[in-house]
Structure 1
Amino acid sequence: MKKIYELAKKAGACSPGLRDIQKAKNVYDLIRLMKTGKGIEFIMESNFLTESVYIQYRSELEKENIFLDGQHSLVNPLLVIALGGEVKIEVNGFQVCEIYAKGSAVLNIVAYDNAYVSIELYQDAKVNIEKYGQSKVKEYRK
């Protein structure tokens, strides 16, 4: 945890964020912090999540739909953070999905029925979108 604190501090995390990191008891507490509004903003605007940290906590991060590399397929996730790799996301029914992507991430989005998908793209992230039915996909380039 101390290594993550130091990386966050070096990347410019705010004092309240650093205090929250210090309070974290395990990696899942840190992942919950990453998935907050402030955490997502910090991740998207910094290079905090280094490859070595990602490799160390790969399984925990991927279980929470946070990806740095590889190919992944998801159906109806609530939140996805893609910092690299290729992620195929299918959203259907009345589901709502938030997606944040940056770096070399490539997103393939398929929305059906009345699904709603919001995508924020940073840096060189790319997205391919297919929409069917009354689905809506909103794309924002930051």
Structure 2
Amino acid sequence: MSTVIEQAVQARLVASAPRMETVPATLRYDRKDPFAVRIDFPAQATLEGTDITWRFGRELLAAGIEESAGVGDVRVAPYGYGRTVLEFHAQEGVALVHVRTSELRRFLRRAEGIVPGGHEHLLLDLDQDLTELLRDAR
């Protein structure tokens, strides 16, 4: 069984101009990081002209497609017409993107197939993580 899934999605970048630009993005889930999901945006989709990756909780994404969730750098909320809005806060500003809710649900089902919700902690190697942390502290 694969331990990583990737899913290409079309995200609509919300700007102050009336039209929304569609940008490619890739959702990623890795069994080695069982609590998190990532969304990668290519350089052409960013103001800085560099690839950008946002990492946030899988639970946040799952909760946010049902009702508004998140209070930090990443917020997720339903946005009518079968879309979900992902809101990314950075020092440079805020980016809003709309993604089809059906694509997010499909991605979450695939991630659930790799690591069922509530079982993420079983994949953590706390002894190894603590050993690495203490080794780096010397």
Q: Into which bin does the TM-score normalised by the smaller protein fall?
A: under 0.3
- TM-score of the two chains, using structure 2 as the length reference: 0.24
Q: Specify which structure has the bigger relative contact order, considering alpha-carbon pairs within 8 angstroms and separated by 6 or more residues.
A: 2
Which structure has the highest helix share of the two? 1
Larger Rg: 2
- TM-score of the two chains, using structure 1 as the length reference: 0.23
Which structure has the highest strand share of the two? 2
